Structure 1
Amino acid sequence: MTETTAHTGSTTLPVPAAQAELPRSGWLRVRATDQAMLANIRRQYELELDQQVLHPVYENHFALLPLDLPLPDSPGSGSGDPGTVFTGARILVALNDELLITVEPDHPVEALATAQTRIARLPESATTREALLVIIEGLNDAMQDTVDRISLVLNRLADEAVDSSGGYKIGGRQVGVADIAQTAVSLGGAEELIARTVQGQLMLERVARRVRRSSGHAAQEYSTLLSDIQGGRRHARFQHAKVRNIQQSLMTTLDLKQNQIIKVFTVVTAVFTPPTLIAAYYGQNFANMPELALPWGEWFVMGTTAIFALVPLAYIKRKGWLR
């Protein structure tokens, strides 16, 4: 039989999912896929927790507070594609004066496990709003970790952008358009992740503001928590500005490379156009061509062709167009 866990003060109680009497106080953790438990909550608390909640609402004396956060997937992984080291966590919080319910994703959320340990050490007199404060603090710390790891990814991408602007990688291979495009794709993924992070921090802030209104003596702690969340959001926006700067640098480098390619083709055209005209002239089938009778006629044509090829090249080099 599937079981969930109710947390009451410092006590952890196993609660059967189907038709059991659920606790009236403490912290009740439920998996989003546990339909039996959700049905039991619907029967006993008259709460629909399997619905899509997009913004805070009130239902049957409970405040329903949705959270959608990009959290670190595997600790210690700070490189690679940004989209592969973070997992979205949808959490629905239901709160009243006696009971706190969290509907969580199937994959484990480390921040909630840490919060569970901290809540177990709270005094028996702790309220649900004080328990929720610990949970939001843990989730905010995880979001800060997300931003820090995004920063590490961006540092690597910034190094790649520097390689691109220099023209060569460390191994000596020239940086091509494909390398720049791959870096740009990674930057796009990082930008999307930062946007989701800022959105998650805004949701955390909205939940904290809602709960602070009725948190009594914990209002000051919630105000401090709001300051921490806002500071984390400023850090995330700084990372977003860094993404934009790197993207601008890459686009400038790409434009320079494209201009360089066009310049090479222009120089080649300028150098080979005069010899092509000479070859076209002497390729005509005229009845009388005096140069054909000259013993040094071939050398004359070859020398003329070389002169007309080198003169445009010397002019272009003198103007500095080859740099």
Structure 2
Amino acid sequence: MLTTYTIETGHLVVREGAQDTEALRRAVWIDLLTPTPEEEQQVQNALRLEIPTREEMQEIESSSRLYKEDDTLFLTAPFLYGVDGGELGSTAITFVLGNSQLVTVRYATPKAFAVFSARCQRTPAMLLGTADGVMLHLFEQVVDRLADILERVGADMDRASQAAFRTARAKVKATTKDADLKGALITLGQVGEVTTRANETLLGLSRILTFVGAEKATAVRRENQALIKSLVRDVRSLVEHANFLNSKANFLLDAVLGIINVEQNAIIKTFTVASVALMPPTLVASIYGMNFRVMPELQWEFGYPMALGVMVVSAVLPIFYFKRKGWL
């Protein structure tokens, strides 16, 4: 889908679908969401540049993601999306920054894009004044969104870890304890996935900002250069916070797995002690189960009760001994 954002007589005009060359050249921001070949061709003809294909956007080497052709910058980075929907992923998004237009090429919609589009309709003059300003303000929205996500997953991780440790200390049913530990494992796995992908997005943004900073004399207007410095600081702090959350998630994961191992060892220990305690009565039963012709107790009136009593006593004495030793 082709969407253009244009300032006309101080008001924002948003157009969707096929447009003529003049409309595309007047637009400040051209957003291509899963573009068709016809839409790509329209933009290429109007702006006289080549839009990267989806396959080219997947290239991981730096020279394919960050490069300059004439006065146009081509910037590609992975962006986190789908956190709210539960099916999160990373998608490569390309920013083509020219002197008068910003072209974004994407195949998914991170929430930051939808939020930024809504903000543009409220304050178009501030956000859509220049092409480089649009890109930097869009990055600012992405960073704000990632900060909110990291804060939320950090809070989720704290709640899950508190529930797991509280359950481990309390005497509750095994099913309740298993459910809490399972929930903690799932939450920690989600935290690791989100922080890893958020870190990937932040590192991509950091590379873009470094590249743009090196070209700021020609790519960024003077009034927007302070925004680059602010974004670099924010990205750096979020990278550190994401690494901290990832390390904390790994520590808590080891702790929860340790709790599970202790619980399993306790169960195995109980079964082991029980099996050892039942060995003497099993031996007695095995002896009196042998079909020898000459057995002193075979014809004895109290032979059967005596055998049962010996089996009970031989089972109770080990259990009593194990309890005194603290093994049960």
Q: TM-score under structure 1 normalisation?
A: 0.83
Q: Is the 8 A contact 1:27 1:99 kept in 2?
A: yes
Tell me the residue number matched to 2:12.
12
Aligned partner letter, 1:241: S
Q: Does 1:33 align with 2:35?
A: yes
Q: Distance in 2 between matches of 1:277 and 1:192?
A: 55
Picking from 102, 108, 117, the partner of 1:100 is 102
Tell me the residue number matched to 2:275.
269
Q: Is the 8 A contact 2:161 2:184 kept in 1?
A: no
Q: Distance in 2 between matches of 1:256 and 1:203?
A: 41
How far does the alpha carbon of each residue in 1:86-108 deviate from its partner, in whole angstroms, 9 at most, with x for none? Answer: 56454321102222112244646
Report sequence identity in percent. Answer: 23
Instruction: Tell me which protein shows more helix as a share of its residues.
Output: 2
> Which 10-residue stretch deviates more, 302-311 or 292-301?
292-301
Aligned partner letter, 2:3: T
Picking from 61, 66, 87, the partner of 1:56 is 66
Secondary structure of 1:121's counterpart equals helix
How far does the alpha carbon of each residue in 1:177-232 deviate from its partner, in whole angstroms, 9 at most, with x for none? Answer: 57645643443233122100000011112222222231353333311211111111
Tell me the residue number matched to 1:66.
76
Q: Distance in 2 between matches of 1:103 and 1:251?
A: 43
Q: Is the 8 A contact 1:70 1:86 kept in 2?
A: yes
Gaps of 5+ in 1: 75-82
Paired residues for 1:1-323 under 5 Å: 4-8=3-7, 10-14=10-14, 17-21=18-22, 22-23=24-25, 26-44=28-46, 45-51=48-54, 52-53=56-57, 54=59, 55-71=65-81, 74=84, 84=86, 86=88, 88=90, 90-105=92-107, 107=109, 109-114=113-118, 116-117=120-121, 120-122=124-126, 126-162=129-165, 165-166=168-169, 172=173, 174-175=175-176, 180-181=181-182, 183-213=184-214, 214=216, 215=220, 217=222, 218-322=224-328
Q: Is the 8 A contact 2:89 2:197 kept in 1?
A: no
Aligned partner letter, 2:231: L
Q: Distance in 2 between matches of 1:135 and 1:68?
A: 14
Q: TM-score under structure 2 normalisation?
A: 0.82
Q: Is the 8 A contact 2:34 2:105 kept in 1?
A: yes
Tell me the residue number matched to 2:62.
none
Q: Is the 8 A contact 2:164 2:180 kept in 1?
A: no
Q: Classify 1:212/1:111 alpha carbon distance in 2 versus 1 (closer, same or farther; 3 Å).
A: farther
Aligned partner letter, 2:188: L
Q: Is the 8 A contact 2:76 2:94 kept in 1?
A: yes
Secondary structure of 2:298's counterpart equals helix
Q: Distance in 1 between matches of 2:76 and 2:69?
A: 13
Q: Classify 1:14/1:258 alpha carbon distance in 2 versus 1 (closer, same or farther; 3 Å).
A: closer
Q: Classify 1:32/1:49 alpha carbon distance in 2 versus 1 (closer, same or farther; 3 Å).
A: farther
Aligned partner letter, 2:30: L
Q: Classify 1:225/1:117 alpha carbon distance in 2 versus 1 (closer, same or farther; 3 Å).
A: farther
Q: Classify 1:154/1:292 alpha carbon distance in 2 versus 1 (closer, same or farther; 3 Å).
A: same
Q: Is the 8 A contact 1:89 1:105 kept in 2?
A: yes
Q: Distance in 2 between matches of 1:93 and 1:31?
A: 12
Tell me the residue number matched to 1:77.
none
Q: Is the 8 A contact 1:47 1:59 kept in 2?
A: no
Aligned partner letter, 1:102: T
Q: Distance in 1 between matches of 2:261 and 2:3?
A: 58
Alpha-carbon offset, residue 315 of structure 1: 1.4
Q: Classify 1:269/1:88 alpha carbon distance in 2 versus 1 (closer, same or farther; 3 Å).
A: same
Number of aligned pairs?
310
Q: Is the 8 A contact 1:71 1:86 kept in 2?
A: yes
Q: Classify 1:8/1:91 alpha carbon distance in 2 versus 1 (closer, same or farther; 3 Å).
A: farther
How far does the alpha carbon of each residue in 1:108-152 deviate from its partner, in whole angstroms, 9 at most, with x for none? Answer: 63333155247613299x543233221111111011112122123
Gaps of 5+ in 2: 60-64
Q: Distance in 1 between matches of 2:14 and 2:300?
A: 109
Aligned partner letter, 1:292: L
Q: Is the 8 A contact 1:47 1:60 kept in 2?
A: no
